[in-house]
Amino acid sequence: MKTEIPITRPLFDDREIEALAQVIRSGWVTQGPKVAEFEKAVSDYTGARYAVATTSWSTAMFLAMHIKGIGPGDEVILPSFTCVATANAIRATGAMPVFVDMDRRTFNLDPNLIEPAITPRTKAVMAVHYYGMAADMDAINAVARRHNLWVFEDAAVALGASYQGKKVGNLGAPTGFSFHGRKIITTGDGGMLTTNDEELAARARIVRSHGVSVSDFARHQAKGALIQDYVELGYNFRMTDLQGAVGVEQMKKLPLILSRRQALAARYDEMLAEMPEVETPYVPPGYEHSYQTYLVWLTPKCRVSLEDILKATAARGVSCRHSIICHTQPFYRKLCGELRLPVTEEAARRTLALPLYPQMTEEEQNYVVATLKDVLVGGTR
């Protein structure tokens, strides 16, 4: 008989509902005081000097690249093993994404492959802290410095991750976070750009709001008329105050969310250690993984195809996932041509994401592991 693993988390808890009600009563709907409070919470947590809230990760990183002058004719190096949004944000500037292979152990960009991909058109490197594991930023930054390249960091899924004692978001480069529903914390959707660059932050606040010199918040707070000018081409990338209110409450929960994810990941590590068909995630010394996703390798001892595993686990009520890679997608195959990235392509065929969420019970986790073991050892009958 099919057993369903229940979803135990309500959309909003009582504290978040009250925060939303306060915003509605205040009359604020567009960007306002709660967005500013949320920005400060993210800035304080990461250690970055500035945080700029946006409608999504994509708009946050587009802002950073656009302001730094990335555009048509430029190339940006990135891993193919990432969400297609990473490549899309680059392409939205008019620049060309240049895909390279990944480090098998960390699932992140292999720094040794950056230099061979550099051409006279290369302008930047996009490091991706994928699935909550920081990229090797010392090595990436070293290559970028030698070739005078900008570095940007995709931390869409990595809020809470650390690298050599520093939080992701404060590792030196402009960094984008996502607050989509599947991320570490959520505002329903939304994003955040963190930076230590005062000029970048100031311009990002202008460009995200139609290029206006005065924010909505400042204009509505002013006593009397406040003249505004539109100083450059801008966009509507503003987070709403309703989202900001949820973000403020979510940030209060972040330490608990992270500790629970990490505890569940450690329990997976222990429970899967005796399964030769599975290789658990590797975390290098000096790194703290936020475990937005718990991704395992299927070893050569696994005789069941990834497709069959996904079908068989789903039939038992366990929602596992496979990884999407960018360079084989029809749009990017047509744009960039046929590429051969062997480690990335192997990962697409032989990695499996297991269910992991803060409200997951040990009973639910036991069921996931038992189901996986039955499918891998007993087949897909």
Residue 233 confidence class, pLDDT cut points 50, 70, 90: confident
Closest C-alpha among 176, 200, 149, 150 to residue 61: 176
Which residues are designated catalytic? Answer: 183
Do residues 295 and 320 lie in contact, with contact meaning Cβ atoms separated by under 8 Å?
A: no
Query: pLDDT by residue (tens digit) across 270-296?
Result: 999 999 999 999 999 999 999 999 999
Query: pLDDT by residue (tens digit) across 176-222?
Result: 999 999 999 999 999 999 999 999 999 999 999 998 765 555 555 54
Question: Does residue 13 have a pLDDT over 80?
Answer: no
Delimiting residues of CATH 3.90.1150.10 domain(s) in the chain: 255-378
pLDDT of residue 212: 78
Q: Which helix (H) or strand (E) holds 361?
A: none
- Read off φ and ψ for residue 79, nearest 5 degrees: -75, 150
Residue 7 confidence class, pLDDT cut points 50, 70, 90: very low
pLDDT of residue 379: 57
Q: Scan for tokens 């209060």, then name that residue.
A: 252
Weakest mean pLDDT among 86-95, 167-176, 214-223, 306-315:
214-223
Weakest mean pLDDT among 24-38, 216-230, 261-275:
216-230
Looking at the chain, the whole-number percentage of residues with pLDDT higher than 70 is 88
Q: What is the CATH topology of the domain spanning 255-378?
A: Aspartate Aminotransferase, domain 1 (3.90.1150)
Delimiting residues of CATH 3.40.640.10 domain(s) in the chain: 14-252
Half-sphere exposure of 235 (CA within 13 A, CB side): 15
Measure the CA–CA gap between 131 and 295, rounded to whole angstroms: 8
Q: Which two tokens stand for residue 58?
A: 């994509």
Residue 45 to residues 39, 103, 167, 252, 288, Cα–Cα distance (Å) = 10, 28, 8, 10, 15
Do residues 298 and 275 lie in contact, with contact meaning Cβ atoms separated by under 8 Å?
A: no
Query: What global pTM score does this model have?
Result: 0.89
Q: What is the CATH topology of the domain spanning 14-252?
A: Aspartate Aminotransferase; domain 2 (3.40.640)
Measure the CA–CA gap between 151 and 30, rounded to whole angstroms: 31
Q: What angle do CA 127, 345, 158 make, to 5 degrees?
A: 30
> Going by C-beta distance under 8 Å and a sequence separation of 6 or more, which residues neighbour residue 298?
277, 278, 279, 306, 309, 350, 351, 352
* Long-range CB contacts for residues 266-270, cutoff 8 Å, separation at least 24: 267/362, 267/365, 268/294, 268/354, 268/356, 268/365, 268/369
Q: What is the mean pLDDT of residues 235-246?
A: 94
Q: What angle do CA 9, 51, 37 make, to 5 degrees?
A: 60
Closest C-alpha among 176, 140, 165 to residue 42: 176
Measure the CA–CA gap between 41 and 312, rounded to whole angstroms: 42
| DSSP characters over 245-286 | HHHHHHHHHHHHHHHHHHHHHHHHHHHHTT-TTEEPPP--TT
